[in-house]
Structure formats: C-alpha cells, structure tokens
Amino acid sequence: ERYKLWGGCFEEEPSAVLRRLNDSLGVDVRLFREDVRGSKAWATELHRSGHLTIEDYESIQHGLDKVEQEIEQELSSNGRLNDPEEDIHSVVERRLRAHAGEAALRLHTARSRNDQSATNTKLWMMSALGRAQSELLNLISVLLKRAQEDIDVIAPGYTHLQRAQPIRWSHFLMSYAWMFRDDVCRLDEQIGRLSSCPLGSGAIAGCALPIDRNRLAESLGFQNVTPNSMFAVGSRDHIVEFLNWSSLCGIHLSRLAEDLIIYSSQEFGIVQHSDQFSTGSSLMPQKRNPDGLELVRGAAGLLLGDSFSFCCILKGLPSTYNKDLQTDKEILFRSYDRLLDCLKVTAGTVSTMKINAKKAESLLEPGMLATDVAHWLVRRGVPFRRAHHLVGAALRRATALGLDLQLLPHAEYTNICAEFGSEKELREVFSWEASVEQYTSEGGTAKEALLLQMQQLQQWLHNY
Ligand code: ARG
C-alpha cells in the first residue's frame, strides 16, 4: 500500500499514467541524506517550540537515523529503492512510522514539501558545489604542473588558427589555468548566495508556529534564512546560476579539448594522448582517437542545453511553487555529474599527455617573426605603421623569390629600407628563444613573466 502525504478529500486514485509522470523518487532518492538531516533539524525546532514531547522527539531522531541506514544499505545493494511512494519525502515519512510509530505523524507539523524540497536541494548543492570546486582545483594544479615541466618548449601560437607568434607551451597551458581560476571564484560567489535556508517558509505563507528560523538555519550549516517565504519556495535561481556556471565552465573545457584534439592530429603532432585517455578504431588498427576530449567538447553543448531548458521551464511560471519545478533536480544532477566527469577526464588527459618539443619547434617558421622584425625597425626609430608595411614588403619579396624571411638576402632588405641595419644584427632577430624572451611584460610569454604568473597562481592555490 502506497503511503500518501495527501488525498483525504479525494475519492479516486490518480491514474497510472499521472503517477508515472508525477513520481520523482527515481531522481530525488539522491537527496535522502539531506531529507533526513532537514527532518532532524525540523524535529529539534518543533520540540523546542513545545510541539513535540521529549519522547516523540527522541523516537523521531532515532527513527530517522534508522531510516537513513536502511536506505543507504538498500541503495548500496540494489542501486534503487523499490518503495511505491511518489517521492523521497513520502518514503522517509512512511519508513519513519515503522520505527517511531505515531510520533512520525507529528514530524510534518507546519512544514510543506515546498520548503522541504527547496531546503534539501540547497543542502545538497552546498556540498556538491564544493566537490566541483575540488575537481576544478585539481585541474588547475595539473595544468600548473605541466606548465612548470614544459617551460622550455617553444611552440607556434595561433590566432584564427593561423600561425601567429612563437610562444612558450606553458603560456598556452596557463591561459586555461587562469580561466579555471575565475570559474572557482564564480562558484564561491554562488555558494555565498545559496546559503540561505528556505525551511520554515511552509507552502507559501511562512510558519505559524514560533520556530526560530535562524537557529534552524545555523544548525543545518546555512549562513542565513530566506527573507520571504514566497520567494523561498518559488525560486530556483541558485539552480539557474549553477547551470549557467556549468555551461561556462563547459565552454572552457570544450575549448581546451578542441585545442588538444587539434594539437594531437598528425598534421600538428605537438601532443600525444596516453592510452588511458585515448580509444581505438574497430576497423583501422593504427587509430588513436581523442574520444575523451571529444566527449568533453560535446558535453559543453549538453550543459548549455540543460541551462537553456531550465530557463524555459521558469519563464512565465506564476509565482511560488508549481510542479514544473520538480524537474529542477533531474537537470541539476545530470549537468553536475556530466561536468564532474568532464573535469576528471580533462585533468587525466592533461596530466598523461606527452609533448613532442621537437615537433612543436619544427612547426615554427620565420614568417612568425615578422612582428619581431617590425619591432626591430621600431627600436631603430621607424614608426610602427611604416615598419609594418616595410616588413610586409620584405615578405612579398621573399614570397616572389620562393624564400622565407630568414633566407631573404640582406641586400633585399636594405633595398626596401636602410633602417634594416647590418646583416649580423638583423640575423639575431631570427631566434625563437630570443623572440619569446622579449615578451617580459607582466602576462607575457618570456620565461621571467611566465615564472611570475605561475608563482602567482601557485600562491592563489596555496591560500585558497
Ligand atoms: N517532489 C516535489 C519537488 O521536488 C516536492 C514538492 C511537492 N509539492 C507539491 N505541492 N506538490 O518539487
């Protein structure tokens, strides 16, 4: 027999198909610990306000502990609950009756599933978001470690995916490490806003019993209480914030994935992914495919879709609780699980990939030093715009002769402009190492500037 929290005024049972659409146990069972925790805190306040005798209070507390253990065991052996109830709140209350008897019928005094469900989700998020942050911090450490190891590798830097300027490979890795640092900070801001407790808001109007909401919130680890009961039961803004955050973090992961996919193609060959993070082909024996990264790239699309779906659910909803909101948990859990897997796969891929420094260097070509040649003229007093055109002319000449900038005879340079200077001096511009070492400004790709940003990020990680 299905234990129901409602139905006294109904003459008929809900239809089977409505039950199927309405039942949420398969999803919200994941909140059983939070449901028990919230219920224990609620029972404490009911007792303190004189609405539960000490005996009832104690049997509820013990009973809830038993219920939690039971569910934990059943989930670990079956992976699911076979209870016929519609949601986790009904399951906990029915099971509590078996342990605490009549006292169980007093637990829901002045409480609604509206404030209960909102509280459970927030409690879950407060710890889950912390776990997401740890995975992100791990990814940042992995990027930082690889940047430290491979600081001497010089590789082509691309804009528009066209060869742009030589950069240190570490500079590329660090560009992502900083992106993820910002993601960690954004999550912190959200966790702060998330930390207000809806419990005590009832279904819509608040709580008619003298409950100390602040004490209740504090006992559950919240920083404060929601300031308006209608806002509390109807808002899912914290979920929207998380989904938007996941989408942004997913975009960052996807861009990194795309770079590493490209760099591992035979045409680039700068990185080779480990066996652990590659897959093969059922037909072509030679294949080593970056499927993990491709799934990460695809996941960003799914994360964006989830945040868009959920906003569509909220748009135009009348205020306070409507059943449309029940879908929040399904979307939240699947986005969260997907994002965490992506963070782990990315960290694993980055920590195990091999860098082919020789190949990276072989992709550099003298045209990538055209900017440095222009700067060389600038140092000799030529206005930059003119220098840009003069080097352009040298490039045009080199192309016509089938040469590159480095092999263009010195006489060709001096024909274009006397400021190109002596052959010996001009030749010195053509060094990858010398090129990157010029970019010493803070945030630049010279070793000195790179060591500084690595130290800054390390310090941030250390203080975090
Ligand atoms: N399972 C529901 C949810 O998570 C609980 C709230 C139900 N409240 C209601 N008035 N039907 O959204």
**Tens digit of each residue's pLDDT (9 = 90 or more) over 408-430:** 999 999 999 999 989 999 999 99
Nearest to residue 249, comparing CAs of 122, 329, 345, 136? 136
Judge if the beta carbon of residue 87 lies within 6 A of ligand 1: yes
- Identical topology for domains 16-106 and 366-463: no
Ligand 1: residue whose CA is nearest its atom 5: 113
Has 117 been annotated as catalytic?
no
Q: Residue 358 Cα, ligand 1 centroid: separation in angstroms?
A: 60
pLDDT at 1: 79
Judge if the beta carbon of residue 120 lies within 6 A of ligand 1: no
Q: Which CATH class is domain 113-155+168-193+215-362?
A: mainly alpha
CATH superfamily of 366-463: Fumarase/aspartase (C-terminal domain) (1.10.40.30)
For ligand 1, what atom is nearest to the CA of residue 24? 1
pLDDT at 4: 86
pLDDT at 433: 96
Q: What is the mean pLDDT of each run of 10 residues along the chain (464 residues)?
A: 88 92 97 98 97 98 98 97 96 98 96 98 97 98 98 98 97 98 97 97 96 98 98 98 98 98 97 95 91 98 98 98 97 98 98 98 96 94 96 96 96 94 92 96 98 98 95
pLDDT at 429: 94
CATH number of 16-106: 1.10.275.10
Instruction: Say how far apart CA 303 and CA 4 lie, in whole Å.
Output: 35
Instruction: Say how far apart CA 370 and CA 221 lie, in whole Å.
Output: 59
Nearest to residue 110, comparing CAs of 61, 47, 173? 47
- Structure tokens belonging to residue 106: 């007093």
User: pTM for the full model?
Assistant: 0.95
For tokens 């070492």, the residue is 437
Domain boundaries, given as residue ranges, for the chain: 16-106, 113-155+168-193+215-362, 366-463
Query: Which of 281, 319, 362, 422 does the annotation list as catalytic?
Result: 281
Nearest to residue 180, comparing CAs of 223, 222, 147? 147
ipTM (interface predicted TM): 0.94
Query: Which of 160, 282, 441, 462 does the annotation list as catalytic?
Result: 160
Judge contact between 201 and 115, C-beta under 8 A: yes
Report residue 204: phi and psi, to 5°. Answer: -160, -35
pLDDT at 171: 98
Instruction: Say how far apart CA 280 and CA 289 lie, in whole Å.
Output: 6
Mark 211-226 as b/e (b = at least 16 C-beta within 10 Å): bebeebbebbebeebb
Neighbouring-strand partners of residue 117: none
Has 99 been annotated as catalytic?
no
Judge if the beta carbon of residue 116 lies within 6 A of ligand 1: no
